[in-house]
Amino acid sequence: MAHAYVVGTGDTKFDELNYVKGLLQTAGVAVKLVDIGTLSQQKNVDVTPGKVASFHPEGADAVFRESDRGRALAAMTLAFENFVQANRQDIAGMIGLGGSGNTALVTPGMRRLDIGVPKVMVSTVASGNVAPYVGPSDIAMMYSVVDVAGINSISRVVLGNAAHFLAGAIRFGLPAGPAHELPNIGLTMFGVTTPCVNHLVERLKGQYECFVFHATGVGGQTMEKLVDSGRLRGVVDATTTEVADLLMGGVMSAGEDRLGAIARTGIPYVGSCGALDMVNFGGVETVPEQYRKRKLHVHNAQVTLMRTTAEENKRMGEWIGRKLNACNGPVRFFIPEKGVSIIDAEGMPFHDPQADQALFEALERTVIQTEQRQLIKLPLAINDPGFADAMADAFVQIMKH
């Protein structure tokens, strides 16, 4: 029987952790209390700090020899990630408790669990920006209201609700899905590539279960997490805009590992240049000073778009090209010669054929084309139905092989 893992630092949170453990047991769930406190002396735990620390690549001493608390916690965080990875088959769900320190300790391990494994983090920082903790995962963040510092009339209810949420998720299964599930594939979309991706989904549904990811940074990370986990069988990456934010400092970067999972797994990949004409910022007042005189487009009060230049497009083409060269699986990358987004089409505010051409030429110079890895140029805009049809046809063809 797999267990619910109740995780936190026993030196400061033992009473709260033990309270949650008891509620889960009463609800009929098998439980293990995991102590990841670097100073903990608690005996009444199921997994000791020493056991978790032994999963550090350099052994437990790498955690406990550190006199600096920050370095010791960083070492324990890594050890806990490895511990979770090694015990994934025994983990039916996980709950963590604490402040910013415990949240930073526990959530990286939670992110090692597959999407769908229940994860609840009761935290004092859950009412703020939780993106650094949640990342590309399905962690449920619950605000603790009061500090996780003893059992009182508020914490008793909040922690109790969290425990029962986890118990319910573990004990009560979901209705069965279709008897014959379709292969799962990932697609990337932005508002300015929506017509393209909607057409792709319409073409591919019935053959594949289509998961569409909004290319907001965490969207690309999530898709690639599912590629790494084996959940996705192929990717139609129409919208690679997160690369623009990575290289130019926008707010929707998916990080340096964008396309990394495609290379590691070798899964079938069809991509394009969707929304590489823009870098994303918040409200217009948040645009960095060095970009204030550039061509800007206010998408809404919270999103300002900056048109990429020919030089920036050259950099992106070279970056994507190098990433594609690392992919040994079947790759088809489509170039829309008449525009890479709705607002890059002729007559629209970001229409700039010279800038686009710099992107296309950089891709052609950089990508080492083989029978497996091909660039395909079409005299169409990305949102033309014929462009989506060509991408869909190519994807179906490489999936057959």
Tell me the pLDDT tens digit for each residue of 193-241: 999 999 999 999 999 999 999 999 999 999 999 999 899 999 999 999 9
Question: Which residue stretches of 96-217 are H helix?
Answer: 100-110, 131-134, 155-171, 194-204
The mean pLDDT value for 369-390 works out to: 98
Intra-chain end-to-end CA distance of the chain, in Å: 39
Q: How far apart are CA 269 and CA 237, in angstroms?
A: 7
Structural domain boundaries of the chain?
3-171, 184-400
What is residue 374's predicted lDDT score, i.e. its pLDDT?
Answer: 98
Query: Over the chain, what is the mean pLDDT?
Result: 95
What is residue 306's predicted lDDT score, i.e. its pLDDT?
Answer: 97
DSSP conformation class of 329: S
The reply to whether CATH 3.40.50.12030 applies to domain 184-400 is: yes
What is residue 179's predicted lDDT score, i.e. its pLDDT?
Answer: 66
What is residue 90's predicted lDDT score, i.e. its pLDDT?
Answer: 97
Same fold yes or no, 3-171 and 184-400: yes
Q: How far apart are CA 341 and CA 275, in angstroms?
A: 5
* 391: nearest Cα among 221, 219, 269, 208: 269
What is residue 301's predicted lDDT score, i.e. its pLDDT?
Answer: 84
Share of the chain above pLDDT 70, in %: 100
- pTM for the model stands at 0.81
- The architecture CATH gives domain 3-171: 3-Layer(aba) Sandwich (3.40)
Q: How far is CA 95 from CA 26, 40, 42, 167, in A?
A: 16, 19, 19, 10
What is residue 174's predicted lDDT score, i.e. its pLDDT?
Answer: 81
Non-local CB neighbours of 386 within 8 Å, separated by 6+ positions: 378, 380
The mean pLDDT value for 259-276 works out to: 97
What is residue 122's predicted lDDT score, i.e. its pLDDT?
Answer: 97
Q: How far apart are CA 238 and CA 194, in angstroms?
A: 10
Tell me the pLDDT tens digit for each residue of 318-329: 999 999 999 999
What is residue 296's predicted lDDT score, i.e. its pLDDT?
Answer: 94
